[in-house]
Amino acid sequence: MKQLGRLLPLSALLLLLAGCGEVNLSALDPQGPVAEMQLSLIKLSLYIMIIVIVVVFVIFAIALIRFREKPGDTHIPKQVEGSKTLEIIWTTIPVILLLILAIPNVMDTFTLANVEADENSITVNVTAHQFWWEFEYPDHDIVAGQDMYIPTNTKILVNLEASDVMHSFWVPALAGKQDNVPGITNEMWLEASHPGVYKGKCTELCGEGHWLMDFRVISVERDVFDKWATNMIGPEQEPASQLAETGREVFQASCIGCHAVGGVGGNPASGGPDLTNFGEREVIAGFLEFNEENLEKWLRYPAETKPGNKMPPFNHLNEDDMKALIEYMKGLKVLD
């Protein structure tokens, strides 16, 4: 009873922590065929385990009640050691359960391994960096950062690579985990059945900024995706105000060497994410809510805001230049 009393608080704590997660970061709410297949395998495994546990506990209870020692009872229960019948039963049942689990696993594994293009599919090369994500669309000659746009109900062929250390690509609502390994290209595919925003994370410990290495997969209708793709490779739109124009001058003097906008600038070897559509993002640096206060915090104190990242601080900018730069970056959009 003392041991049970110790386990109850621990069990309560585990149940409490199980609820400490983000609603949109769950494999239990599939939004595409890959995630649905994987959830079906999870459920199948769970059902088999539940059946086994129930049967074991029922047998245990029967044995405990029926064959317990009673006062004055000298009868020795019948011994079943060496019983061929029982050995056949408890060997056959696990084999059958394993076959029930193995057959759909093998079938789905071959389906998920079929990374072949069809007439509507799109290829995305995903490169992981410390601590941000790069999405290249070779069919459209586009490079995007942090937000991965995909058309709804379209097979997306994903090639996974890493520029520095090992990372891992995971969008639980759309597909399971797959590693990004330097020098190796891993393949997978995913598909979103509905328009929406699906959160992704790096799930391989890759440095001190690993826990903030988030990204988003944004599923939109095909016509919206086509418009986004066309505008991403088009020339940069003119700033909407004089303040934003001043901000562009500040950006070109301070940021263009690392970050591209409208296909201009950036450093493929050591640069940062493409910022062509930065103003459309809902988060900054993968995790900060998009607002002027957080953007200034990120620009002035990047090391303190997201540990381990390679962005230099821009604390040397005066208030006017910083305000202008923020205004310009807010206006970097390709969709209305």
Find where tokens 């997201």 sit. Answer: 306
**Confidence (pLDDT) at 22:** 52
Tell me: pLDDT of 125 over 50. Answer: yes
Is 287 exposed, middle or buried, given 0-12, 13-18 or 19+ CB atoms closer than 10 A?
middle
Question: What pLDDT is recorded for position 67?
Answer: 77
- The percent of residues in the chain predicted with pLDDT above 70, rounded, is 92
Question: What is the rounded average pLDDT of the residues 165-178?
Answer: 95
Name 222's Cβ contacts closer than 8 Å, sequence gap at least 6: 151, 152, 154
Query: Among 67-71, 156-160, 307-311, where is mean pLDDT lowest?
Result: 67-71
- Which CA distances in Å does 187 have to 7, 132, 156, 168, 295? 43, 19, 11, 12, 35
Find the mean pLDDT for residues 14-34: 70
Residue 23 confidence class, pLDDT cut points 50, 70, 90? very low
Question: What per-residue confidence (pLDDT) applies to 65?
Answer: 86
- pLDDT value at residue 100: 93
- Residue among 266, 241, 268 at smallest CA distance from 331: 241
For residue 24, pLDDT over 50 is answered with yes
Query: What is the average pLDDT across 42-60?
Result: 94
Average pLDDT over residues 235-263: 89
Which residues are bridge partners to 135 per DSSP? 126, 144
**Which domains does the chain show, CATH number per domain?**
25-64+82-229 (2.60.40.420), 242-330 (2.60.40.420)
State the Cα–Cα distance between residues 108 and 199, nearest whole angstrom.
Answer: 24
Say whether pLDDT at 214 is over 80: yes
pLDDT at 58 over 90: yes
Q: Report d(CA 184, CA 223) in Å as an integer.
A: 34
pLDDT at 132 over 90: yes
3-state SS string over 146-204?
A: CEEEEECCCCEEEEEEECCCCEEEEECCCEEEEEEEECECEEEEECCCCCEEEEEEECC
pLDDT band at 263 (very low <50, low <70, confident <90, very high): confident
For residue 149, pLDDT beyond 90: yes
CA nearest to 167, candidates 109, 219, 215, 114:
215
* Torsion, Cα of 283, 330, 146, 228 (10° steps): 120
| Predicted confidence band of residue 290 (pLDDT cuts 50, 70, 90) | very high
DSSP letter string over 205-265?
--STTGGG-EEEEEEE-HHHHHHHHHHHSSPPPPPSSHHHHHHHHHHHHHTTTT-EETTEE
Mean pLDDT of the chain: 89
